[in-house]
Structure 1
Amino acid sequence: MNKKYKARIDRAIQYIESNLSNKISLADVASVSHFSDYHFHRIFTGMVGETVNDYIVRRRLECAVNLLIFRTELSVTEIALENGFSSTANFSKAVKRHFGFSPSEIRNPDKIKNSKIGKISSKYGKEFSPSDLYPARVTNEVMNHKIKDTKMNVEVRELDCLRVCTLASERGYELDAIYSAWDRLIDWATNHGIPQDEQQRFALAFDNPTVTPIDKCRYTASIMIDDEVSVRSPFKASEIPKGKYAVLYFNGAPEDALQAQLSLYSDWLPESGFEPDDFPMMERYLNDARVDGYLEMEIYVKLKTL
């Protein structure tokens, strides 16, 4: 893939992500990419795999559904307006069409009687069930056992601003794509004088896989670097922001990691006096699960005071 094309499409995506709650002009998105209006839509569709409009609608709906679940103090109308929909009626129709369930059914999955197959299944091949959005249900029904002594393993840690070199997974949370991104980034760091046993590796997971198709979830591999290290495409220099983080140590089977992550939200956070900040959840890897057969890591959630 042409690096310049990808960089210009990435700029367009960043513009969309920063303006999901506002009215987005397709001409403005094309302008940010520096492609002509006429060709931009074809280039975007070819490289991203969906039209500009489909991408915007999908991302607004994904953000909205997460708010329906995790911000129960907000009304459906408030969530609709906050995510760029002109009315509650338009929002409800869009949610039903995409997910196969209404906003009220998503908030109250026990009351669901019938549902249609939504666009998320027919277009993206992803099965969607509102009950899977709820941490308690995932913990109890899917995992079939509760993580024990989670609160004992959580500490609140102050983190200084960290400069990192990053590389995004090209196919979201698909394991092969994640491993490919890490292999390339680890080789890059080694070639830039950072021995493998000294590399501090962080992963940023931006999306909720119960809502977003796996291949479209955004996952970024990161390794801490010094200020003087030069970074060139396809790698990017970025920062992990200074602040207060909840840190949960995890050591176990990779398939149990989701349970540990959910326990932070369902068990620890409600009693902590904090709420999550807008920065995405991070994982700091302490070993190579492919070599060791188990996963050792720290899970970070940036905090702000309630």
Structure 2
Amino acid sequence: MEEYKKRIVKTIQYIDTNLDADLSLEKIAEISAYSPFHFHRIFKLVTGETLQNYIIRRKIEKSAFLLAVHKNMEMKEIYLDLGFSNPSVFSKTFKKYYGLAPSEFRKAAPEAFHKILQVQSKNGQIDTVFSQYICTIENLLNWTTMNLKIEIKEMPEMNLAAVMSLGIAGVEPSYNVLIDWAKKKHLFPKEDIKMISVYHDSFKVTPPDKVRIHACMLLDEKLEEPAGEVFSETIEAGKYIVGSGEVTLNDFEQCWVSLFLWMNEHNYSTRRTFPFEIYHSNFKEHPEGKMIVDFCLPIQ
């Protein structure tokens, strides 16, 4: 199973960075070094969905992000870049996932203090709806001032050892795999070791059980020899909004919302790389379950 996961991770990374390219079963199977027949079965075994469903979902999720965040981007540019042949096909597919046509979604797209929830309707079908956070913007800003120190930082390039998690429930097991690997390499435990979670999907557009989160450990130099489920990842150097504070796990969502709201209030825009969290302490060692965290949001 470890070898399967290793190859699937490589495949998913390729898909995510090449959503506008040839993503046929034959091409993807070639990347993974499996035959098309075996790859199709293995991909579904590891991810819980077919390759085609995964690709379409990722394209639609990316289009939703672009529609909501990059409001000046032409609709045609979005659907052509993602490989949709015409607006009709794009609109029909988008509406299947979010219950709204792309143009309606863009008009209704929530700002940073909104989120997309999935709720069970009376007839048992999943409806995608918008729900505003209970707190008002003013209350959220007050909470931010009291709980987070927010500043703009130039962050250096960071070399990581990573294990991929599909879904929030898989993050802790992924860290366990990473720590077991690090112990064998005599990299853990160390006083100054930093654990980092890198978010490759947004909870605003991807269901929680499908979000890809990489459980990572900061290394002194690039990992040259990946092993099993552990692979090398690099965080780009650049400008970030960094919100630092001592918080509980239940505060994480509010912290991220605060950062996006702060970004909008100060006229910054996101950069096309992945946000991440740096952990400076362990919540399991705190009597109130608190931990010191840096929430890092890449900006232009």
So what's the TM-score if we normalise by structure 2? 0.83
User: How far does residue 98 in structure 1 lie from its aligned partner after superposition?
Assistant: 2.1
Deviation at 1:231, TM superposition (A): 4.7
The 5 Å alignment of 1:241-252 reads 241-252=236-247
Structure with the larger strand share: 2
Q: Does 1:55 align with 2:54?
A: yes
| Match runs of 1:53-202 below 5 Å | 53-109=52-108, 128-129=128-129, 131-132=130-131, 137-138=132-133, 140=135, 145-148=139-142, 150=144, 153-169=149-165, 171-174=166-169, 177-191=170-184, 192-202=186-196
Q: Secondary structure at the match of 1:148?
A: helix
Deviation at 1:61, TM superposition (A): 0.4
Distance verdict in 2 for CA 1:261–1:255, change over 3 Å: same
Instruction: Identify the range of structure 1 (41-50 vs 227-236) with the bigger mean alpha-carbon deviation.
Output: 227-236
One-letter identity of the residue aligned with 2:60: L
What CA distance in whole angstroms lies between the structure 2 residues aligned with 1:253 and 1:84? 41
User: Unaligned regions of 5+ residues in structure 1, if any?
Assistant: 111-118
Cα-Cα RMSD:
2.9
Q: Aligned with 1:237: secondary structure? A: strand
Q: Measure, in 2, the Cα distance between the counterparts of 1:187 and 1:241.
A: 26
More helix by share: 1
Partner of 2:292: 296
Q: Look up the match of 1:256.
A: 251
Could you tell me which amino acid in structure 1 is paired with residue 35 of structure 2? S
2: CA distance between counterparts of 1:248 and 1:92? 37
User: For each residue in 1:179-216, what CA deviation from the matched residue of structure 2 results, as whole angstroms up to 9, or x when unmatched?
Assistant: 22223323443441443432111110121223212121
Aligned residues: 283
Looking at structure 2, the residues matched to 128 and 250 of structure 1 have their Cα atoms a distance apart, in angstroms, of 32
**Which whole-Å deviations, capped at 9, do the CAs of 1:45-69 have from their partners, x for residues lacking one?**
2222211111110100010111111
**C-alpha offsets along residues 122-163 of structure 1, whole Å, 9 cap, x if unaligned?**
9xx86521x24xxxx33637x994142747822222222222
Amino acid at match of 1:106: F
- Amino acid in the other structure paired with 1:38: F
Q: Are the equivalent residues in 1 in contact too, given 2:3–2:228 (CA < 8 A)?
A: no
Q: Gaps (5+ residues) in structure 2? A: 110-117
> Relative to structure 2, which stretch is displaced further, 94-103 or 58-67?
94-103
1:212-227 matches, cutoff 5 A: 212-227=206-221
Structure 2 SS opposite 1:146: helix
Calculate percent identity across the aligned residue pairs.
29
Going from structure 1 to structure 2, the CA distance change for 1:127 and 1:198 (only over 3 Å counts) comes to: farther
Is 1:208 aligned to residue 202 of structure 2?
Answer: yes
Aligned residue number for residue 114 of structure 2: none
The residue aligned with 1:15 is 14
